[in-house]
Amino acid sequence: MSKPLTIAMPKGRIFEEAAELMRNAGYDIGSGAEESRRLILEFPEQNINVMMAKPMDVVTYVEYGAADIGIAGKDVLLEQDRDVYEVLDLKISPCYIAVAGLPDQPLSRIAPKIATKYPKVASDYYREQGEQIEIIPLNGSIELAPLIGLSDRIVDIVSSGRTLKENGLVEYEKITDITSRLIVNPVSYRTKSDRIDPLIEKMGEQVGVSS
39/67 Cα distance (integer angstroms) = 13
Ranges of H-type helices in the chain: 13-24, 58-63, 74-80, 119-128, 144-147, 162-166, 186-191, 193-206
Return the residue of 185, 196, 199, 203 that touches other proteins, per CB under 8 A: 185
Nearer to other proteins, 107 or 209 (CB): 209
The closest of 42, 26, 67, 96 to 183, measured between CA atoms, is 67
Task: Give the nearest distance from C-beta 192 to other proteins in angstroms.
Answer: 8
Nearer to other proteins, 79 or 143 (CB): 79
Burial class (CB in 10 A: 0-12, 13-18, 19+), 58: buried
Task: Give the nearest distance from C-beta 181 to other proteins in angstroms.
Answer: 6
Interaction between residue 3 and other proteins (CB under 8 A): yes
Nearer to other proteins, 36 or 64 (CB): 64
Contacting other proteins within 65-94 (CB under 8 A): 65-66, 81, 83-89
Interaction between residue 127 and other proteins (CB under 8 A): no
Q: How far is CA 50 from CA 59, 191, 198, 204, in A?
A: 14, 19, 18, 20
Interaction between residue 54 and other proteins (CB under 8 A): no
Q: Site residues (CB under 8 A) for other proteins?
A: 3, 63-66, 81, 83-89, 181, 185-187, 190-193, 197, 209, 211
